[in-house]
Amino acid sequence: RLRLHDGKLIKDRRYHLRTYPNCFVAKELTDWLIDHKEAPDRETGIRLMQKLMDHYIIHHVCDEHSDYKDAKLLYRFRKDDGTFPLSKDVKVFMRGQSLYEKLVSVEESILKVREENSVKYQRTFLGCEMIDWLVQEGEAENRKEAVELGRALLEHGIIQHVSNRHHFFDSDILYQFWINFRRRRRLTELLNENSSRTLSESPDSPFCLRKLNPDPGSTSFLSVQTNKEIKIVSAVRRSSITSLAGNSNSYFSATPMLVFPPVAECNPKSVLKRPVTNEELLSPGAPYIKKTLTIVGDAVGWGFVVRGGRPCHIQAVDPGGPAAAAGMKVCQFVFSVNGMYVLHLDYQTISSLIMTGPRTLVMEVMEAVE
């Protein structure tokens, strides 16, 4: 957006005797994306801008088009007309970016390369140092408020404990900024969320797809990481997703999701003894109780697999993961995710809600009465 302003592609324009401030012509922008190597061709450029529309970053100046058309139509960044939706997640992200820029631009910054257990970590700081700095710079009124800010940054994957063992505390525990806000990101990374191509291995990329080597003789199942990465996580018995999918590469080529892809060779048997309908779950006197689970994702994710649809159920739970610690069990039915009723949704949609939501996941589940 800032580069487009500098290049005068974003400016006030007249159309049908009306002036539209701070807008750009779609066709000109597609040309610009290709000229500046942000997109290899027009089709990719259109897909990129459609991604920005889908995430409420740009829109048609009169909201007459819900899709991005490579034509002489006027579009605008929502930040330029005050319609950008500042949700809590966006506010925390922007606060984290602001603090990062402030920290790296000062001399004698508390951000340093430090070592713990013979491992070097970039952009690190002590929890108590960060608290001191936040209060000293007026970023927080007191130490309690500074701790709350630090916890929000950690829960949104902006900072983390260097070995992912602790939440944020006012102590000499070592943390680091997980996101390098100054790393130059290319727009095409946005398309890697649903790309079948091998993804970047850069730990700074929120679209990175990685794999941990599972221990021999153990099951592997997908778990979504809190920084939107996906790793293979070890659990109970052998049934490797990679072998089921017939893919021996280091990276999955399948679309990232929290659950098993719906293909024949990768569709293990349901843990449910019989199908259950929504009507049966919700009927008066039904033998089901509702429970609320609060799951704080760790370095690997939340540690469970959801399957099925209308209603979805818990197919697998990592016994050492956050979900198990919160009381999640197999065969529970997913009633709501972060306050949203989901009994009528399929597992792909629920997976998307979880992956794009906050690090702290609040789920309501329905469990059969024993």
Enclosing H/E stretch for 29: helix 26-35
Q: What is the mean pLDDT of residues 271-300?
A: 88
pLDDT of residue 193: 55
pLDDT of residue 252: 29
Cβ neighbours of residue 182 under 8 Å, at least 6 residues apart? 100, 101, 104
Q: Which two tokens stand for residue 216?
A: 């021999």
Residue 227's nearest CA partner among 164, 304, 310 is: 164
Confidence bin at 228 (pLDDT 50/70/90): very low
- d(CA 347, CA 366) in angstroms, rounded, equals 16
Peptide bond between residue 261 and the one before it cis (omega within 30 degrees of 0): no
Burial grade of 117 (CB within 10 A; 0-12, 13-18, 19 or more): exposed
Cα distances (angstroms) measured from residue 62 to each of 14, 17, 65, 205: 13, 14, 8, 34
Q: Residue type for 224, please?
A: V
- d(CA 305, CA 257) in angstroms, rounded, equals 10
Q: Which has the minimum average pLDDT: 85-89, 174-178, 207-211, 341-345? A: 207-211
Please write the tens of the pLDDT for every residue from 244-273: 333 333 222 333 333 333 333 344 678 898
Count the Cβ atoms, other than its own, within 10 Å of residue 24. 25
> Percent of the chain at pLDDT above 70?
78
Q: What is the mean pLDDT of residues 85-106?
A: 86
**Residue 137 has what DSSP assignment?**
T
Cβ neighbours of residue 255 under 8 Å, at least 6 residues apart? 194, 196, 261
Confidence bin at 365 (pLDDT 50/70/90): very high
pLDDT of residue 268: 62
Please write the tens of the pLDDT for every residue from 51-80: 999 888 899 999 888 899 999 999 999 888
- d(CA 327, CA 325) in angstroms, rounded, equals 5
pLDDT of residue 189: 74
Residue 130's nearest CA partner among 152, 101, 109 is: 109
- d(CA 81, CA 10) in angstroms, rounded, equals 12
Cβ distance 7 to 15 under 8 Å? no
Q: Catalogue all structural domains in the chain, each as residue range(s) with its CATH number.
A: 11-77 (1.10.10.10), 88-177 (1.10.10.10), 278-368 (2.30.42.10)
Please write the tens of the pLDDT for every residue from 109-157: 999 999 888 888 888 999 999 999 999 999 999 999 999 999 999 988 8
